[in-house]
């Protein structure tokens, strides 16, 4: 393990130099499959937002919303928040709350420097100088306490889309219930064809780094471009995808649809792939499945919907509904489709938003009035809750009511998530479950 010093004395692995071992077989060969998101989790991975081209006005609103989402998830499962070494103290302060911030201000006024809590030595001994119980060090980097059930992993990325750059996890039905990760090739949603930023090297290293930090074996799938938001599994052999995304020219242009499907089956342990034609209109990921359709349990899905025929989403959702009505899942069941409305009023970039962005060369830019791909389908299913985006729209409450009926065993936690959709995705996009 090659390490470098960083921040306030923390050590993080230099994953560019560390050549850790990856599994060269496929999950299906080893008896693994991708479970449903509604199945039990060990925890959830998130990434601290800082990228100026994604999060306007210094990312302050986005960061407050990420904290709220992380706290909601942490009620029922562990959250690991990735952050760059120089962000460690900022993340801890954000979670500390007003009382802690007030104490820190008083210390600074008296000339006392604030010290980040718990370095690697304390993590390994179980001692703690700050605000959380000690934890044993993990393989790649130390878990640093931020809040109850929330730990920071000092791993640097290019942006904060944990769903797309984190590992897709697969499990084996056996006594040990082993969990492994899959390290796909990430190219910023299209590479040189229509990728959203010019440099994504750190993002592409993240899945392997997370697997190592959480001590999971990792499958090498770097030959195949895929993001976590492009796939949805029922845990029983059926996987949902969209043609618009997986057949886009910026991903795997030399592969046929049949070859792409075969790869998904080999790595996700699927018996059947359902191809919906389109996703959410103007979704800059080439229309990820997780924004338009999601399993709530085997045989049942929610589908983003509008009855407004003048809305461009109407035709896209109807095309997907026709496929779902004609198809069966891997076990021969007809799909039960629950229509989940999109916001009644489009969520758009404002002049105020636009003034807060700082775009780098080669990065996709935004325009005032640009419609964002807002969808209530982009929720996260935690062990004890469903975290649902809200947009200050008249359909917010209806979406909560529908999901409450579909998840009676879980608390429905609505969170105002416009600061996240401004970045281009939403709650599901910034989370990645670890079974």
Q: Annotated active-site positions, please? A: 429
Q: How far apart are CA 434 and CA 388, in angstroms?
A: 19
**Neighbouring C-beta atoms of residue 352, cutoff 10 Å:** 10
Strand partners, 218: 181
Calculate helix-pair angle for 60-73, 88-109, nearest 10 degrees.
110
**Consecutive H or E run containing 20:** none
For residues 287 and 279, is the Cβ–Cβ distance under 8 A? Answer: yes
Q: Which residue has the tokens 């407004």?
A: 308
Place of tokens 């969990």: 179
Structural tokens at position 272: 């059947």
8 Å CB contact between 385 and 76: yes
Closest residue by Cα to residue 233 from 287, 301, 327, 166: 301
Please list, in sequence order, all residues whose beta carbon lies within 8 angstroms of the beta carbon of residue 87, skipping any fewer than 6 positions away.
48, 50
Distance CA 185, CA 203 (A): 10
Residue 151 tokens read as 């730990």
The CA distance from 150 to 183, in Å, is 24
């Amino acid at each position: 393990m090659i390490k470098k010093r960083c921040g306030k004395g923390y050590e993080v692995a230099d994953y560019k130099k560390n050549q850790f071992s990856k599994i060269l077989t496929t999950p299906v060969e080893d008896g693994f499959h991708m479970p449903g998101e509604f199945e039990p989790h060990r925890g959830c991975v998130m990434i601290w937002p800082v990228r100026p081209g994604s999060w306007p006005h210094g990312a302050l609103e986005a960061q407050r919303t990420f904290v709220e989402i992380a706290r909601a998830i942490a009620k029922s499962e562990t959250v690991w928040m990735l952050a760059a070494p120089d962000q460690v103290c900022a993340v801890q302060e954000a979670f500390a709350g007003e009382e802690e911030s007030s104490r820190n201000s008083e210390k600074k006024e008296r000339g006392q420097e604030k010290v980040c809590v718990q370095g690697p030595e304390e993590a390994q001994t179980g001692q703690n100088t700050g605000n959380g119980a000690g934890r044993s060090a993990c393989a790649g980097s130390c878990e640093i306490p931020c809040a109850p059930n929330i730990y920071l992993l000092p791993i640097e990325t290019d942006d904060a889309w944990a769903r797309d750059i984190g590992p897709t996890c697969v499990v084996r039905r056996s006594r040990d219930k082993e969990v492994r990760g899959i390290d796909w090739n990430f190219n910023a949603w299209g590479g040189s064809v229509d990728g959203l930023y010019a440099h994504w090297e750190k993002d592409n290293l993240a899945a392997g780094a997370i697997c190592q930090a959480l001590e999971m074996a990792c499958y090498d799938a770097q030959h195949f471009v895929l993001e976590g938001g492009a796939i949805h599994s029922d845990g029983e052999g059926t996987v949902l995808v969209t043609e618009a995304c997986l057949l886009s020219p910026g991903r795997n242009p030399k592969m046929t649809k049949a070859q792409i499907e075969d790869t998904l089956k080999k790595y996700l342990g699927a018996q059947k792939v359902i191809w919906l034609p389109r996703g959410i209109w103007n979704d800059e990921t080439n229309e990820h499945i997780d924004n338009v359709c999601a399993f709530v349990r085997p045989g049942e899905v929610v589908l983003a919907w509008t009855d407004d025929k003048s809305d461009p989403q109407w035709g896209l959702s109807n095309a997907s509904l026709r496929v779902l009505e004609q198809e069966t899942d891997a076990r021969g069941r007809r799909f039960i489709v629950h229509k989940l409305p999109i916001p009644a009023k489009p969520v758009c970039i404002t002049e105020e938003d636009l003034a807060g962005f700082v775009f780098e060369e080669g990065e996709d830019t935004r325009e005032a009035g640009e419609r964002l791909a807002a969808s209530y389908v982009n929720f996260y299913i935690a062990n004890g809750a469903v975290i649902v985006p809200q947009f200050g729209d008249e359909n917010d409450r209806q979406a909560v009511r529908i999901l409450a009926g579909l998840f009676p065993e879980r608390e429905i936690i609505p969170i105002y998530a416009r600061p996240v959709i401004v970045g281009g995705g939403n709650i599901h996009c910034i989370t990645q479950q670890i079974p």
